[in-house]
Amino acid sequence: MSALKRKVRKLERFRKTHKGPKIAETQGRGKAVAREAKKIALQAAVSLRKKSGKLVKELETLSADELTSKLSTVRQELFNLRFKQATAQLTDVAAIPAAKRQIARILTLIKQKEVGA
């Protein structure tokens, strides 16, 4: 199962438990509004997937040495983000998990290049 399908299913389960599109049907707005809400949620999931795919494609073009230098810069950025958070100067709190994901992507690509996959 692809990551996109998992995200869509997770979103649908969330909507079921938190009274998402079904509220529209019970309040007399009809199924069209519910379908539109589902369509918007799917578009959001697809755009998120495309965005992360672009980042991976950019990283795949780099060599192993360039990836290690990129890894050190991202780790330094993560350190700075944590420092800002500790001093209450961080405005974008989502930047920390994004940096961690970026580190994981780079480490994965480095390992793939070592193995030769």
Q: How far apart are CA 97 and CA 85, in angstroms?
A: 13
Res 24: pLDDT: 47
**Among 53, 55, 60, 59, which Cα is nearest to 2's?**
53
Tens-place pLDDT, residues 36-77: 777 776 766 666 556 666 777 888 888 889 999 999 999 999
pLDDT of residue 9: 80
Instruction: Name all domains of the chain by residue range, CATH numbers in brackets.
Output: 1-51 (no CATH), 62-117 (1.10.287)
Q: Which amino acid is at 25?
A: E
Model pTM? 0.55
| Rounded average pLDDT over 99-111 | 92
Cα(17)–Cα(1) distance, integer angstroms? 22
